[in-house]
Amino acid sequence: MNQVVYVVDDDQGMLDSTVWLLDSVGLKALPFTNGRAFLEACDPSLNACVLLDVRMPGMGGLNVQEEMRARGIDLPIIFVSGHADVPIVVRAFKAGARDFIEKPYNEQLLLDSVQQALDSQQQRRSTDVVDADLQRRLDSLTPRERDVLLPLVQGYTNREIAEQLDISVKTVDLYRSRVMKRMQAEHLPDLVGMAIAAGLVKPLNLRG
């Protein structure tokens, strides 16, 4: 997926030079001279980050950040500002900013920060995809298969599970193989890892 950097700055000269810098390293930069135009055009599904000027007429960077949160646009924000006073920096970070860079900025510093923001976004999206896939597998289990899954990943033997559920060991065997198949787990440790990742069990609750 293409990586995109939204650049929002009312200073046209600064906007042009930032876009040129990002283009020079192969990053696609989308320029905006005000926050409203950016918010209307922003696509939260992209692997993107936002370079956002703090002081702009009309809607300043911190207001844009608030509006992004209100709209559920969860992209990493790197603030750039010629006037980085402490209260503004604190407010930006408290609201979830990824970085704060003072103008005139060091080009390498800016590029490093942008790349880190994009990498973290990519990583998070990969995790989201894995989570969704894992959830789909769990949702495919029948209630009885789920009943077997939990004690199974907690380390109980088939006989113990059969006693807990008041069914035969043979039936537990059958459910166990079905659970492994539906969860696409080749071995029991794979299944345990999935259950921990899904938050069904905590590592401390497992029997040694």
Judge if 122 and 147 occupy the same domain: no
Residue type, 158: N
Distance between CA atoms of residues 141 and 61, nearest Å:
47
Judge if 28 and 116 occupy the same domain: yes
Structural domain count, the chain: 2
Please give the pLDDT value at position 85. 75
Judge if 165 and 122 occupy the same domain: no
Judge if 112 and 16 occupy the same domain: yes
Judge if 9 and 63 occupy the same domain: yes
Please give the pLDDT value at position 177. 94
Judge if 8 and 71 occupy the same domain: yes
In a domain, 116, yes or no: yes
The tens-digit pLDDT sequence of the chain (208 residues) is: 578 999 999 999 999 999 999 999 999 999 999 999 999 999 998 899 999 999 998 899 999 999 999 999 999 999 998 876 778 888 888 888 999 998 888 999 999 999 999 998 888 877 787 788 888 999 999 999 999 999 998 889 999 999 999 999 999 999 999 999 999 988 888 888 888 888 887 765 566 5
Judge if 120 and 155 occupy the same domain: no
Judge if 201 and 179 occupy the same domain: yes
Please give the pLDDT value at position 28. 95
In a domain, 106, yes or no: yes
Consecutive H or E run containing 188: helix 188-197
Judge if 77 and 166 occupy the same domain: no
Judge if 74 and 105 occupy the same domain: yes
Please give the pLDDT value at position 80. 92
Q: For the domain that residue 170 is a member of, what is the CATH number?
A: 1.10.10.10
Distance between CA atoms of residues 45 and 32, nearest Å:
19
Last residue of a domain, one of 75, 110, 129: 129
Judge if 26 and 87 occupy the same domain: yes
Domain region containing 81: 3-129
pTM: predicted TM-score of the whole model, two decimal places: 0.65
Q: DSSP for 116-163, please give it.
A: HHHHHHHHHHHHHHHHHHHHHHHHTS-HHHHHHHHHHHTT--HHHHHH
Judge if 7 and 98 occupy the same domain: yes
Distance between CA atoms of residues 64 and 54, nearest Å:
9
Nearest in space to 100 (alpha carbons), one of 109, 89, 87, 86: 89
Q: For the domain that residue 89 is a member of, what is the CATH number?
A: 3.40.50.2300
